[in-house]
Amino acid sequence: MIKDITIGQYIPGKSFIHKLDPRTKILLSLVYIVNLFLINKFKGYIFITAFTFFIIFISGIKMKYIYKSLKPILLLIIFTGALNIFMTPGSAAPLFHWSFIHIYKEGLILAAFMSIRLIFLIVGTSMLTYTTSPIELTDGIEKLLTPFSKIGLPAHEFAMMMTIALRFIPTLIDETDKIMKAQMARGADLDSGNLIKKAKSLIPILVPLFISSFRRADELAMAMEARCYRGGDGRTRMKQLRFTSKDCTAVFFSVALVVVSVFSNYL
């Protein structure tokens, strides 16, 4: 399960999506997320589904990575769907009734909507990190937040903080997997027992993981200081961000998706 977590992972490539400006991908990801919550009818998600699979196809990202991004939250999706099914009241007679359990048509529809939204939300945000390197992501976030620096927002520091957090998620996952295997090799039982026993068995994992995290943070701070890092003031870049015709094409198709999906939703 630990190895299936792909948050923050970047998959190098030379596809059309990889070559887009990071600012374009960040903004279009936000538009994609907003569009998911604007739609409240199933026919609107037909265009979202087609667009998502089209993006996955032209990006060259294998479906196994998409499955890995969804696998850790399958229980959350199932729990969210079940919660909406059993907790949503209906206006007509229930479809199923037993004791205190009532299942209405409205509950099934809402559960389906919430599950679909969660799935597309994870897939859409995963495609952003799969096709954008941490350095490009940092530069894109910083450029987008630069106008807010006039009101005191530290754009560069905020972007650097977010990117470092995303960058070290795969590292910490790998470290956790190594610690778990080392503890199991020493005879630790991490799977059996009740919930309290399983929680206690995590202590030998969390303690060395926290120590390793603080050590990595200290080493990163020393490395940045040794390279004379002083924040964003006067910082130059080897590669300047520029919008190209590819970005205009991506914006056009994304706007077309929003118009078509919203129009079909309210038609």
Domain locations in the chain as residue ranges:
2-167+242-266
Mean pLDDT, the chain, rounded, equals 81
* Residues 128 and 22: beta-carbon distance below 8 Å: no
pLDDT tens digits, residue range 87-128? 777 777 767 677 767 777 778 888 888 888 889 988 888 888
Query: CA-to-CA distance for 43 and 27, rounded, in angstroms?
Result: 25
- For 67, 74, 87, 94, 98, the CA distances from 79, given in Å and listed in that order, are 18, 9, 12, 21, 20
* Range in 24-33, 186-195, 212-221 with the lowest mean pLDDT: 186-195
Q: What is the pLDDT of residue 6?
A: 62
Query: CA-to-CA distance for 45 and 35, rounded, in angstroms?
Result: 10
